[in-house]
Chains A and B, each alone.
Chain A
Amino acid sequence: MKQNVDILLLDDDKDICVMVQAILQYAGLKVHASAQPSQLTAILSNYHPGVLLMDMLLSGTDGRDVCRKLKEDPATSAIKIIMMSAHPDADKTCREAGADDFIAKPFDMDHFIGKVKQQLATVNP
């Protein structure tokens, strides 16, 4: 049986992964984090996230392609996806790939938590 988590966090930068997980946990959210994008399929078979928080560039994998595939698959299309990037002009291309929201790096902590909670609020129980 899958474990429910509020957030599934995917970022190939381990330091950012640990930092973002700490912020989300401080905000009272249940988080599973991974710095290995290749493990996403295995993780999704074990965890049921409300929101997938994912970096756009994942060391060999384009997060936008991952986003498109997840949104096209009925089994995963309901997962809200927030993409993050420090890349300029990433907002537009991530939303075009189907992301429900986008956060530019570096981000203000309150603004970041606000956006995550906003998407969580739209998740069907």
Chain B
Amino acid sequence: MYDYSGLTPQQITEVGWLQIVHPDDREENIIQWKHSVGSGEPFLFEHRFRRKDGEYRWQLSRAIPQKDAKDNIQMWVGTSTDIDDIKKHDQQKDDFIKMASHELKTPVTTIKGYIQLLLKMNSHGKDPFLSASLQTIDKQIYKLTKLITDLLDVTKIETGSLQLNKERFFIGDTIKEIAEELETTVQTHKIKVQLHANPAVYADKDRIAQVIVNLFTNAIKYSPKAGEIIVSLNTIGDNLLISVKDFGIGISKEDQARVFERFYRAAGKDEKTFPGFGIGLFIVNEILALHNGKIWVESEKDKGSVFYVSLPVNH
């Protein structure tokens, strides 16, 4: 670090190593470091270091704890690897993904706009077949848009270019808003919301909303004969816990271990009758992992499932 930064050991000791980290990366750096120090989990973080010539370059920093015989952490040992060239190559891929997303969504914009306008103009109900047809097309456009977004998210995750835009917000409020909106859209299920807490979290609000929407829509999709799903929010220590319970077809023990894998779909006869790519839970798992969160499921075949999400409540 001394050779790379051009700083002396005394300068690093007096002011700290954070001084060579890019200002935009410092807040997240502190959060991740504190998480590792508090939990004992290895530290793994990409951030920019200021080289002695003044240029900021991407580094992959890793550290593991060294423990004594009583399992107490004595020190941390780590490395930082210059990955700036790799990052620039990834940036090209990322730029392609963004442009592809734009090109795919542009014609969908025109189709959706006209369909919704025609729906409004035919809302008098004089042509029920036309109205029903337009509603079906509108729903399919929603599915198509979601598919484009999900496929691009999978690509972003694989290239490591899924970025988070973190902000502070009350997660209980977000859960309630999504539940109300989805109930109105779907109309087949009631979403019972039990907020035992409403903590503020520091997270990517849109991505966490994506997680919640995904869990709700899965719960509804896989419980076509039930009329209700239940979501609850609690805090346990430094974490919040969300549970989403449905009364549907359930997941076998063998499938429970694999449902978060990319493109994995349960192989049962009933499960195959449901549409989907098998990428929703993979994306949810990755989003939560980026937030140092977790997801797991408890389920019994034909009795329904409960999906649990745990997220740190960062302060």
Q: Which residues of A contact B (CB under 8 A)?
A: 13, 15-16, 19-20, 22-23, 26, 57, 85-89, 92, 105-109
Roughly how many angstroms separate A13 CA and B116 CA in the complex, as a whole number? Answer: 19
* B292 interface residue per 8 A CB criterion: no
Q: Are B106 and A19 in contact (CB under 8 A)?
A: no
The B contact surface, by secondary structure, is helix
CB distance from A95 to the nearest CB of B (A): 12
Known: A87-B98, A105-B109, A109-B120. 17 other contacts (CB 8 A): A13-B106, A19-B109, A19-B110, A19-B113, A23-B116, A26-B121, A85-B102, A86-B106, A88-B101, A88-B102, A89-B98, A89-B165, A106-B105, A106-B112, A106-B141, A106-B145, A108-B116
Give the chain A neighbours of B111 by CB distance below 8 A. Answer: 106
On whether the beta carbons of B109 and A109 are closer than 8 Å, the reply is no
**A23 CA to B117 CA, complexed, in Å:** 6
Flag if A87 contacts B102 (CB, 8 Å): yes
**Sorted from nearest, which 8 A-B pairs have the closest CB atoms?**
A86-B105, A109-B116, A106-B109, A105-B109, A19-B113, A106-B112, A86-B102, A87-B102
Q: In the bound complex, what is the Cα–Cα distance between A72 and B295 (angstroms)? A: 48
Whole-angstrom CA separation of A87 from B100 in the bound complex: 9
Chain B residue at minimal CB-CB distance from A20: B113
Q: Is B76 an interface residue (CB 8 A)?
A: no
Bound-state CA distance A87–B98 (Å) is 6
- Please tell me if B263 contacts chain A, counting CB pairs below 8 Å: no
Q: How far does the alpha carbon of A85 sit from the alpha carbon of B141 in the complex, in Å? A: 17
Contact: A105 with B165, CB < 8 Å? no
**In the complex, per-residue mask of B103-145: 1 if CB is within 8 Å of any chain A CB, else 0:** 0011011111110110011000000000000000000010001
| Closest chain A CB from B93 CB (angstroms) | 14
- Cross-chain pair count, CB within 8 angstroms: 60
Within 141-156 of B, Cβ neighbours of A (below 8 Å) are at 141, 145, 152
Which range holds the interface residue count of chain B? 20 to 34
Verify if B91 is at the interface (C-beta below 8 Å from A).
no
* B163 sits at the interface (CB 8 A): yes
Q: Given A15-B110, A16-B113, A88-B98, is A105 in contact with B163 using a C-beta cutoff of 8 Å?
A: no
**Roughly how many angstroms separate A22 CA and B110 CA in the complex, as a whole number?**
11
A26 to B122, CA, bound (A): 13
Chain B residues with CB below 8 A from A87, complex form: 98-99, 101-102
Q: Which residues from chain A contact B109 at a C-beta distance below 8 Å?
A: 16, 19, 86, 105-107
Cβ–Cβ contact B117 & A109, under 8 A: yes
Q: Which of A15, A57, A89, A106 contacts B163 (CB 8 A)?
A: A89
Which residues of B sit under 8 angstroms from A20, Cβ to Cβ?
A: 113
Give the residues from 86 to 100 in chain B that come closer than 8 angstroms, CB to CB, to chain A. 98-99
Residue among A86, A92, A109 making CB contact with B113, cutoff 8 Å: A109
Say yes or no: A16-B106 contact (C-beta < 8 A), given A26-B121, A108-B116. Answer: yes
Partner of B114, one of A13, A19, A86: A19
**CA–CA, A109 to B141, complex, Å?**
13
Contacting pair B117 A26 (CB below 8 A) = yes
Contacts A87-B98, A89-B163; is A16 near B120 (CB within 8 Å)?
no
A29 vs chain B, min Cβ distance (A) = 14
Q: Point out the residue from A26, A86, A107 that lies within 8 Å of B101, measured CB to CB.
A: A86
Within the complex, what minimum Cβ distance (angstroms) separates B154 from chain A?
14
Min Cβ gap B104→A in Å is 8
B113 touches A106 (CB 8 A): yes
B99 CB → nearest A CB, Å: 8
Which residues from A are CB-within-8-Å of B116?
23, 108-109
Taken together as a complex, chains A and B put the C-alpha atoms of A19 and B110 apart, in Å, by 7
- Least distance between B203 CB and chain A CB atoms (Å): 16
